[in-house]
Amino acid sequence: MSAIFTRAGFRRGFLEGLPLTPGMAAFGLIYGVLAAKAGVGVVTAGVASVVVFAGTAQLLALHSWNSPDVLVASLVAVLAMNARYFLFGAAMQPWMRGLPPHIAYPSLFLLVDANWAAAMKEREEGRNDVAVFVGLGTAFMLGWTAGTLAGAGFGGLLGDTRRLGLDFFLPAFFFVLACGFWKGKADLVPLLVGGGIALAVDAVGGGSWHVLAGGLAGSVAGAYARRRGATA
C-alpha cells in the first residue's frame, strides 16, 4: 500500500503534537539560555534551531563554540550521537514508499525520536498518511524554536546560570540518555569505561575531547565484551 500525504493527516499530527510542545519548548529554553551564556546571539541561536533542529547536537556544539581546537572532536561526537537517525530513516522507508522524492526527503528533515515512534505506530496500525509524521514534527519544531528564542533572549536576565544548576543540564541530559540504552548488566563495563575515560581526559585537557575519548573507549569496551560473550 503506497503512502499518502493529506491535509487532514497533517492537521491530526499537528494537534497530537501540541500536548508535547511545552516539553520541547522547555528543552529549547535550556538550550537558548546556555547558548546565550556561550555568547551565541538570539538570531543565530534561533536560526540554528530551525536549520539544525537537533537538540543533542546543538547542545554539544556549544562546547566548541569558543574553542575551535575541539571542533573536530565535537563534529565526530555529534555524528556518533545522531547516527541512530540513519537507522530511523531506513526503518521508515517502507512506510513512506510511493511518496515523490520532493515530499519524502523534506519530510525526513523533521525526524526526531518522538515522531519516529509515532510513525512506527501508524505503520503497525495499517495507516499510511505520512503527513501525520510531518504535522507532529512541525509542532515539535515550533516549540523547540520558541523555547530557544525565549532562552537566548532573556537568559541574560538570569545572571550566573550555575547557581540555577543549568551548567549541569548537559551532562545530566546525556547521563539520562545513556540510561535509556541500558539493557542489562553487560552494559555496565562499557558505561564505566567510557565514563571513566571521559572524566580522566576532561581532568587533563578539558575542552570537548573527553566526549570523543569516552565514546570511543566505551564503544571499544562494549564491542570487546560482546565478542567475548559470543565466543564464551
Domain boundaries, the chain: 7-158, 181-231
Name the nearest CA neighbour of 77 among 190, 179, 218, 196: 218
Q: What single string gives the DSSP state of each residue in 76-92?
A: HHHHHHTTHHHHHHHHH
Average the pLDDT over each of 4-18, 110-124, 170-184 and give the range with the smallest value: 170-184
Q: Report the pLDDT averaged over residues 6-24.
A: 92
Spatial neighbors of 71 by CB under 8 A, at least 6 apart, are 64
Average the pLDDT over each of 2-16, 31-45, 57-71, 112-126 and give the range with the smallest value: 57-71
Q: Report the pLDDT averaged over residues 75-89.
A: 77
Q: CA 222, CA 43: separation in Å to the nearest integer?
A: 41
Axis-axis angle for helices 7-17, 113-124 (nearest 10): 130
> Which single residue is written with the C-alpha cell 497530537?
16
pTM for the model stands at: 0.69
Beta bridge partners of 129: 4
